[in-house]
Chain A
């Protein structure tokens, strides 16, 4: 609880100005703490007369941290494939493990995993814990959770990373609760704090309007989920060696009270443009519906979806679900590539919260260039195919 010493408080209002949550207010010359207080401590730091204290601070060390060592990555495997984020996490995990001077482990759970374990080693893992069992063919929160938490209890890794995917965001919180571990969701950045080796986890909050850095000072393991496409995977190195440890799940670890009756893989066309991180959008400059084939190719190349302006939708080149703007959908992807779009305000209204906007237009005075982070003046029918080539070339390198 945040306590105010009324004798010391001079009502200067510094604490009020510094509270990010609007939880402290100076009333009649004395600071008064409201219910919105999260005990973040920023007011304690700024108070020049030391009138503020936080009582009952964080709980003391729960266990000897020295017992906990190593960095682990949960390597998601579904429908016969490793999720790309698994390899990205190995890239991030490798850096953390090297900074801590500890081995990097990977946990692989599924059925028919083939050479996935070897692939994980080639991408940076020192050890792979492999639970390959027919009963694990479809993802189950209880079975996957029981196996992972069993392994964590046994081997005590200090850090566990998982993809912030549908699967990772589902069973990892339950595992963290069971272990009493701190868990930070959707991290976009991970570092090791120099003074004590703790994991610094940075994540967006309030829909990306705020960034927060989080630590788990007094408990282990430290768990984090990481958004796909944020970390970089290491290059495949077939010469790397590592250890594969086979895990035989106990029968009770395979039990699941939730029955999976069917798994349905959707077609890409149904993608909701509001859910896509990358959108390639076409406007009147495409000339006709064939222009959208080009847009689609670029979208596939970037792993994104296709969007459009009202002009393109009205012309019948593409369906209404793809429309962005005043009368279409509002989107906030990470990357928005506007091709042949002039940038009328009613279109911009639907996409201005994008992280990075790229504009390709032959008219150098088109208003789209005023909102674009990167503008490329040129004929899109020349630019887009070349761009696709360059991206593919870069990927192969």
Chain B
């Protein structure tokens, strides 16, 4: 379908497609097999200016909108959502600074992220605080002109690979939702370290570790925005980033559909290609229909966000849920169409199905997204 992209958007798609076809696809199986972080591929993306897409022009970026980053991530997702996640997590890590940071702070951190020289990471989740962010136990206490952080963040994407970490910590527990603040922690800060790499079911090219802060001392000016605005910043960050996760789902599903149709056309059973059997055709048709419906929703949501940046929660959650549930289903069905071959590592759909699962879990589980949509509906109908 023609989504009437601008010339600039077509360029972003072209570049991301080329990186995906020439760099990611040839390497993805090995990266998955070896749990290897894709430094070389990320360097190629940096060279191609992709890291700059979501960052403002005044800090060396392209000032791209939500749809621009969605288009880039959709292509990367077609290759490997592990690589796509490593790339997207850097944007996620820098969003808090873009959203709430002072201009000095932006000047300090944004340019190196915009050119892919440094990666960022976002530290929210803890052992007892996942979907329920109020369970956060990491604390930050002002001691003289330094903040002292204590606590452990869990399952942090780009942990150990990034140099800039934006983390949330409780600054005043008595203030409830207004008692948390966000900080920038850098590699090399006193008392800061990353745990060993976690072993995961999928997206194994991405790095996932703990962030350990033990009397971690950082300068006072590492506070992002005003004290007590941490939760708001986190919510805005996730609202901005979720369409990107949806886009990874679109790319992954597209790749599954491509593999499954190609296979169905050449695999012969009972004397004809299995594509000739209606049972198979209908599965493939459903995959294509649901994929296109999801794409229309994600692109539409991204355009809405670009036009109405203050009204993004509901559409952002809607597109994340729909596209990632679709990606899980399509990848499962791709394996089914390909039968035993699909289950083998020789073909990429096995990895895609393993990878797809995380899309329904991270950056807010799909259950939490439905809560958001439900709450927004409640608000809307109350107002009316």
Query: Once the chains bind, are A346 and B266 in contact (CB under 8 Å)?
Result: no
Determine the distance from Cα of A345 to Cα of B267 in the docked complex, in whole angstroms: 9
Determine the distance from Cα of A345 to Cα of B347 in the docked complex, in whole angstroms: 11
Would you give the shortest CB distance from A168 to chain B, in whole angstroms? 33
**Shortest Cβ distance from B29 into A: residue:** A327
Chain B hits for A327, CB < 8 A: 29, 346
B29, B267, B346 interface centre (most CB from chain A within 10 Å): B346
**Shortest Cβ distance from B346 into A: residue:** A346
Q: Mark A348-370, 1 if CB is under 8 A from B, else 0.
A: 00000000000000000000000
Report, as a range, how many residues of chain B touch the other chain. under 10
Query: Once the chains bind, are A326 and B266 in contact (CB under 8 Å)?
Result: no
**Shortest Cβ distance from A326 into B: residue:** B346
Q: Mark B255-295, 1 if CB is under 8 A from A, else 0.
A: 00000000000110000000000000000000000000000
Interface members, chain A 316-353 (any B CB < 8 Å): 326-327, 345-346
Determine the distance from Cα of A326 to Cα of B29 in the docked complex, in whole angstroms: 12
Determine the distance from Cα of A344 to Cα of B266 in the docked complex, in whole angstroms: 13
Query: Once the chains bind, are A345 and B266 in contact (CB under 8 Å)?
Result: yes
Interface members, chain A 128-150 (any B CB < 8 Å): none
Would you give the shortest CB distance from B350 to chain A, in whole angstroms? 12
Report, as a range, how many residues of chain A touch the other chain. under 10
**Shortest Cβ distance from B268 into A: residue:** A345
A123 proximal to B (CB < 8 A): no
Chain A hits for B267, CB < 8 A: 345
Determine the distance from Cα of A346 to Cα of B29 in the docked complex, in whole angstroms: 15
**Shortest Cβ distance from B344 into A: residue:** A346
A220 proximal to B (CB < 8 A): no
A94 proximal to B (CB < 8 A): no
Would you give the shortest CB distance from B279 to chain A, in whole angstroms? 21
Determine the distance from Cα of A327 to Cα of B27 in the docked complex, in whole angstroms: 10
Chain A hits for B347, CB < 8 A: 326, 346
Determine the distance from Cα of A327 to Cα of B341 in the docked complex, in whole angstroms: 13
Give which listed residue, B266, B341, B346, contacts A310 with CB less than 8 A. Answer: B346
Determine the distance from Cα of A24 to Cα of B197 in the docked complex, in whole angstroms: 62
Determine the distance from Cα of A235 to Cα of B344 in the docked complex, in whole angstroms: 53
Interface members, chain B 7-45 (any A CB < 8 Å): 29
Determine the distance from Cα of A327 to Cα of B266 in the docked complex, in whole angstroms: 18
Number of A-B contacts (CB under 8 A): 11
Chain B hits for A326, CB < 8 A: 346-347
Q: Mark A302-318, 1 if CB is under 8 A from B, else 0.
A: 00000000100000000
Determine the distance from Cα of A326 to Cα of B26 in the docked complex, in whole angstroms: 11
Determine the distance from Cα of A310 to Cα of B341 in the docked complex, in whole angstroms: 14
**Shortest Cβ distance from A325 into B: residue:** B346
Determine the distance from Cα of A327 to Cα of B344 in the docked complex, in whole angstroms: 12
Interface members, chain A 51-84 (any B CB < 8 Å): none
Chain A hits for B346, CB < 8 A: 310, 326-327, 346
Chain A hits for B29, CB < 8 A: 327
Determine the distance from Cα of A310 to Cα of B346 in the docked complex, in whole angstroms: 9
Chain B hits for A345, CB < 8 A: 266-267, 341
Interface members, chain B 339-365 (any A CB < 8 Å): 341, 346-347
Interface members, chain A 278-321 (any B CB < 8 Å): 310
Determine the distance from Cα of A310 to Cα of B347 in the docked complex, in whole angstroms: 12
Determine the distance from Cα of A345 to Cα of B266 in the docked complex, in whole angstroms: 10
Determine the distance from Cα of A310 to Cα of B29 in the docked complex, in whole angstroms: 14
Determine the distance from Cα of A327 to Cα of B267 in the docked complex, in whole angstroms: 18
Determine the distance from Cα of A33 to Cα of B330 in the docked complex, in whole angstroms: 48
Would you give the shortest CB distance from A350 to chain B, in whole angstroms? 11
Determine the distance from Cα of A327 to Cα of B347 in the docked complex, in whole angstroms: 8
Would you give the shortest CB distance from B124 to chain A, in whole angstroms? 37
Determine the distance from Cα of A103 to Cα of B203 in the docked complex, in whole angstroms: 70
Would you give the shortest CB distance from A50 to chain B, in whole angstroms? 46
Determine the distance from Cα of A346 to Cα of B347 in the docked complex, in whole angstroms: 9
Determine the distance from Cα of A346 to Cα of B262 in the docked complex, in whole angstroms: 13
Chain B hits for A310, CB < 8 A: 346
Chain A hits for B341, CB < 8 A: 345-346
**Shortest Cβ distance from A310 into B: residue:** B346
Would you give the shortest CB distance from A175 to chain B, in whole angstroms? 38
Would you give the shortest CB distance from B228 to chain A, in whole angstroms? 53
Would you give the shortest CB distance from B356 to chain A, in whole angstroms? 21
Would you give the shortest CB distance from B38 to chain A, in whole angstroms? 18
Determine the distance from Cα of A322 to Cα of B40 in the docked complex, in whole angstroms: 24
Interface members, chain A 102-133 (any B CB < 8 Å): none
Would you give the shortest CB distance from B101 to chain A, in whole angstroms? 45
Would you give the shortest CB distance from A228 to chain B, in whole angstroms? 31
Would you give the shortest CB distance from B264 to chain A, in whole angstroms? 13
Would you give the shortest CB distance from B126 to chain A, in whole angstroms? 39
Q: Mark B318-350, 1 if CB is under 8 A from A, else 0.
A: 000000000000000000000001000011000
Would you give the shortest CB distance from A330 to chain B, in whole angstroms? 12
Determine the distance from Cα of A151 to Cα of B346 in the docked complex, in whole angstroms: 58
Would you give the shortest CB distance from A41 to chain B, in whole angstroms? 39
Determine the distance from Cα of A310 to Cα of B266 in the docked complex, in whole angstroms: 21
Would you give the shortest CB distance from A262 to chain B, in whole angstroms? 31
Determine the distance from Cα of A376 to Cα of B149 in the docked complex, in whole angstroms: 73
Chain A hits for B266, CB < 8 A: 345
**Shortest Cβ distance from A349 into B: residue:** B266
**Shortest Cβ distance from A320 into B: residue:** B30
**Shortest Cβ distance from B345 into A: residue:** A327
Would you give the shortest CB distance from B25 to chain A, in whole angstroms? 12
Would you give the shortest CB distance from B26 to chain A, in whole angstroms? 10
Chain B hits for A346, CB < 8 A: 341, 346-347
Determine the distance from Cα of A148 to Cα of B47 in the docked complex, in whole angstroms: 47
Determine the distance from Cα of A345 to Cα of B264 in the docked complex, in whole angstroms: 13
Determine the distance from Cα of A181 to Cα of B137 in the docked complex, in whole angstroms: 83
Determine the distance from Cα of A326 to Cα of B338 in the docked complex, in whole angstroms: 15
**Shortest Cβ distance from B266 into A: residue:** A345
Would you give the shortest CB distance from B352 to chain A, in whole angstroms? 15
Determine the distance from Cα of A327 to Cα of B26 in the docked complex, in whole angstroms: 9
Would you give the shortest CB distance from B349 to chain A, in whole angstroms? 12
Would you give the shortest CB distance from B344 to chain A, in whole angstroms? 9
Would you give the shortest CB distance from A122 to chain B, in whole angstroms? 50
Determine the distance from Cα of A345 to Cα of B342 in the docked complex, in whole angstroms: 13
Would you give the shortest CB distance from B118 to chain A, in whole angstroms? 34
Would you give the shortest CB distance from A31 to chain B, in whole angstroms? 34
Would you give the shortest CB distance from B27 to chain A, in whole angstroms? 12
Would you give the shortest CB distance from B247 to chain A, in whole angstroms? 27
Would you give the shortest CB distance from B20 to chain A, in whole angstroms? 18
In the complex, 11 of the A-B residue pairs with CB atoms within 8 angstroms, ordered by the A residue number, are A310-B346, A326-B346, A326-B347, A327-B29, A327-B346, A345-B266, A345-B267, A345-B341, A346-B341, A346-B346, A346-B347
Given contacts A326-B346, A345-B266, 9 further A-B contacts (CB under 8 A): A310-B346, A326-B347, A327-B29, A327-B346, A345-B267, A345-B341, A346-B341, A346-B346, A346-B347
Closest 7 CB pairs of A and B: A346-B346, A327-B346, A326-B346, A327-B29, A310-B346, A326-B347, A345-B266
